[in-house]
Structure 1
Amino acid sequence: MSAQKQALGRGFGALIPQDLDQSIMQEDNERVQKLLIQDIIPNPDQPRREFDQDALNELAASLKQHGVVQPIIVIRMAGNNQYQIIAGERRWRAAQIAGLSTMPAIVRSMKELEQIEVSLIENIQRVDLSPLEQAMSVYKLQQQFNLSLDEIAKKLGKAPSTISNLSRLLQLPDDAREALREGKITEGHARAILSLKGLDDEQAELLRSIQNNGWTVRQAEQFATAAKKGASATTARQRTATET
């Protein structure tokens, strides 16, 4: 295993495709340009949808003092003078906060799938994607490129079960999905809730118990097992409390 992948080493950190040409991430001084920030636009297919404001402010303070050292990666949009970000949206956002008017960029030409791959690499290396953001990325690969989950797993060098589990997170009830997004429940909790698909009352009761009682993943799984055997939500909760 490479040193880079060992350094990533958490959860979905191995999302980097095994056969990805790493040269697309290498800096090429001849292709670095200074672009007007106003001519740069974000990528609507960027897998990361949320940015920590405090972290952006800290980065902005650093950029204001030292400037942008690492160029962002962009592609030129056809028919106008705008450039779309492929990797480096956090730096672009922070540069705006810092009041910078220009920033260095590497202009590349890549297929759409490569754009998504590079964006994933950028985010995994710096700030881990949340489980839901990972699930959305898998969904986009399915929908935009007509790939099966097995094909996605092979391309990303992951077990099919890992990709399947991620994909299923999008099937969570709205309140459970929001709790996962906010970090109030873990991916393990989410899988326990998903195992009760079709049992709306039991799913709602399990989510409440996890949040209100601080249930572990094991407790959530025990509740789900009891509920699937026909126990009511109240009875399943009582059995779980008794067994732990």
Structure 2
Amino acid sequence: MNATFQELHIDQLVIHAKNVRNDVGIVTDLANSITEQGILQPLVVAPAIAGEGYTIIAGHRRYAAAKLANVDSLPCVIREDLDTEPKQLVAMLVENTQRADLTPVEEASAYQTILEFGDAFNVKTVAKATGRSQSHVRKRLLLTKLNEDAKVRLEEQTLNVDQALVLVDFAADEAATERLLAAAAQSPREFAFRVEAETRKRDLPGKLAALESELKEAGAKYVPESELYSGKYTKIYENEDNELTTAQHVAAGDLASIDRNWGRLSWYSKPSKAAKAKVELTEEEQEAKRRDAELSAALDIAHAIRAEHIKQVIASPPEGAADEALYRLLVRQLHSHVNLFAEITGRHPDSESDHQGIKAALADMTVEQMALLLHLAERSQEDELLKLWAWDAGDYRHSWYGGPKAWIEDLGSVYHYELSAVEQEVLDHFQQLHDARLAEVAAEELEEGEDDDA
């Protein structure tokens, strides 16, 4: 690096035509500071590529504040080695990307400008020069595809980077972009819903083509569009609820219907003679059915959004979420096990329906204690273990999930309980009975076999 220090007159300094920062912000306080104490940190400049003077590489805010404070000369570090526009732009980018107030749009624009200088610059070289990851640079470059409205929202921080990257996928569709921006202004949930809806709408032509091709190949027949909501036809299956193949439906004589607004395939049974004789639905009733179908499709999108949200919450639980989940499960379980709750915790709610009393008592417990208490309320078979049959593993009542046999196993694996001599004696007693019975059956079978041979 070839650098020298020199005081330069403010008229010798010029802002680079492709300056990374679009706005230096309000510099009044900085100007006042310069008036009182001078410029404490020198600007970084380079010889102008065209004409005389020096191009500012770093220090645009100090330059603007100095002009406001009527300062004539500024301390500068002159970088003689920055003798080409690409070098100067990279240097400005490196300096500015270390600043927290550089906006994503400004950063994206700078990366794009550098790449336009030629083959010597690519994502890898830009990432290396700026100390960013290649993934970060690629994502920022995607932001250059946004329309001006989206860029302004991103600058104003009414749209976050993650939402902006989603909008990039719809950059070619202005109408979809506007709908997504409107949804983003409402709430994250509305934005997620609209993204799912727009994604399905975008993918709809391909989905419809695939469905139509499959139905044509199978020789399927359709429900007449004019009679779809007439009441003559009974819906059998819809989309993933279907357990039959298209060929099986066709073989059964079922009729297909494709909702071309959502790409939903439904199957209907042929109307019977009785159905044909049935009074047809009025136009109002048919319209109500159409509305129900639209709402059902919208709920399908809402379901997808909820599923993704729940997955994210489980992957990275918010603070207090686990406690609240255990609270709610325990309150539901323990309102019918009040005596057990009182015995374990030493606190007794006012009544079996006193959810708040139980929840207040649970607040003093750790997550580990609540988890064990929930397991106890859900799985305990202590009342059954007072009965002799419960210790007989061969009893038919052990076949249901969570029965006494499973509870005995849980006592050992969860509660680290070792069976007493009496309990083991009971288990051994029943085991001996079963062994004896098996021996008797084996002897009877052997005897029958000998009689057949004779």
Please, what TM-score do these two structures have when normalized by structure 1?
0.74
Answer yes or no: is the 8 Å Cα contact 2:39–2:75 preserved in 1.
yes
Answer yes or no: is the 8 Å Cα contact 2:111–2:137 preserved in 1.
yes
Q: How far apart are the structure 1 equivalents of 2:179 and 2:145?
A: 17
Q: Which amino acid aligns with 2:194?
A: F
For residues 1-244 of structure 1, the aligned pairs below 5 Å read 31-53=4-26, 56-77=27-48, 81-109=52-80, 110-112=82-84, 113-146=86-119, 147-211=121-185, 213-215=186-188, 220-230=191-201, 239-240=301-302, 243=305
Q: How far apart are the structure 1 equivalents of 2:68 and 2:302?
A: 50
Instruction: Tell me by how many angstroms 1:173 deviates.
Output: 2.1
Instruction: Tell me by how many angstroms 1:169 deviates.
Output: 0.7
Alignment CA distance shift 1:164-1:240 (3 Å):
farther
Instruction: Tell me by how many angstroms 1:188 deviates.
Output: 1.0
Instruction: Tell me by how many angstroms 1:226 deviates.
Output: 2.9
Q: Which amino acid aligns with 1:43?
A: H
Q: Which structure has the bigger radius of gyration?
A: 2
Q: Which amino acid aligns with 1:128?
A: D
Q: How far apart are the structure 1 equivalents of 2:54 and 2:11?
A: 10
Q: Which amino acid aligns with 1:46?
A: N
| Deviates further, 31-40 or 111-120 | 111-120
Q: How far apart are the structure 2 equivalents of 1:135 and 1:122?
A: 15
Q: How far apart are the structure 1 equivalents of 2:298 and 2:72?
A: 58
Q: Alignment partner of 2:151: what SS?
A: helix
Q: How far apart are the structure 1 equivalents of 2:163 and 2:181?
A: 8
Q: How far apart are the structure 1 equivalents of 2:74 and 2:298?
A: 56
Q: How far apart are the structure 2 equivalents of 1:45 and 1:208?
A: 32
Q: Which amino acid aligns with 1:119?
A: M
Q: Alignment partner of 1:229: what SS?
A: helix
Aligned residues: 212
Answer yes or no: is the 8 Å Cα contact 1:131–1:187 preserved in 2.
yes
Q: Alignment partner of 1:103: what SS?
A: strand
- Offset from partner CA, 1:145-169 (integer Å, 9 cap, x none): 3333344335444443322211111
Q: How far apart are the structure 1 equivalents of 2:32 and 2:55?
A: 24
Q: How far apart are the structure 2 equivalents of 1:78 and 1:229?
A: 51
Q: Which amino acid aligns with 2:89?
A: I
Alignment CA distance shift 1:145-1:91 (3 Å):
farther
Answer yes or no: is the 8 Å Cα contact 2:97–2:130 preserved in 1.
no
> What residue in structure 1 maps to residue 288 of structure 2?
none
Please, what TM-score do these two structures have when normalized by structure 2?
0.42
The CA RMSD over aligned residues, in Å, is 3.0
| Deviates further, 139-148 or 113-122 | 113-122
- Offset from partner CA, 1:194-218 (integer Å, 9 cap, x none): 222333322211101111x1326xx
Answer yes or no: is the 8 Å Cα contact 2:153–2:159 preserved in 1.
yes
Alignment CA distance shift 1:96-1:210 (3 Å):
same
Answer yes or no: is the 8 Å Cα contact 2:179–2:194 preserved in 1.
no
Instruction: Tell me by how many angstroms 1:193 deviates.
Output: 1.4
Q: How far apart are the structure 1 equivalents of 2:135 and 2:78?
A: 37
Instruction: Tell me by how many angstroms 1:138 deviates.
Output: 0.9
Alignment CA distance shift 1:240-1:160 (3 Å):
farther
Answer yes or no: is the 8 Å Cα contact 2:93–2:130 preserved in 1.
no
Gap runs ≥5 in structure 2: 205-260, 263-293, 307-454
Alignment CA distance shift 1:240-1:129 (3 Å):
farther
The one of the two structures with greater contact order (alpha-carbon pairs below 8 A, sep at least 6) is: 1
